[in-house]
């Protein structure tokens, strides 16, 4: 009876469906990134191209990866800056 009341009021403990959905979402972020082995290469190249319009960067020490924690997946890019461009955007 309490269970039914809680359900009516939407206060149930986290449903297993929500857990499933969240786990699925996280696993797919990784799967989709892994589908192409060139994914990170392509992403890096595009990042370099865009950022190079504004800054001089050290492309050899550039690092791009997915950071994985239980709650979220983040894209972490470590891009050493060598200097700013004066005529940026061109």
Residues within the interface to other proteins (CB under 8 A):
4, 7-10, 12, 15-18, 20-21, 23-25, 27-28, 31-32, 35
Alpha carbon distance 25, 60 (integer Å) = 32
Our separate counts of H helices and E strands in the chain read 3, 4
Measured from the CB of residue 85, what is the shortest distance to other proteins in angstroms? 38
CB of 32 to other proteins, least distance (A): 7
Nearest CA to 68 out of 36, 39, 30 is that of 30
Q: Cβ of residue 7: shortest distance to other proteins, in angstroms?
A: 6
């Amino acid at each position: 009876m309490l269970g039914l009341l809680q359900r009516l009021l939407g206060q149930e403990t986290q449903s297993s469906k929500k857990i499933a959905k969240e786990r699925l979402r996280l696993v797919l972020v990784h799967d989709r990134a892994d589908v192409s082995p060139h994914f990170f290469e392509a992403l890096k190249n595009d990042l370099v191209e865009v950022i190079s319009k504004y800054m001089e960067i050290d492309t050899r020490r550039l690092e791009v990866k997915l950071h994985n924690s239980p709650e979220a997946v983040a894209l972490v890019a470590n891009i050493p800056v060598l200097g700013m461009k004066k005529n940026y955007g061109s």
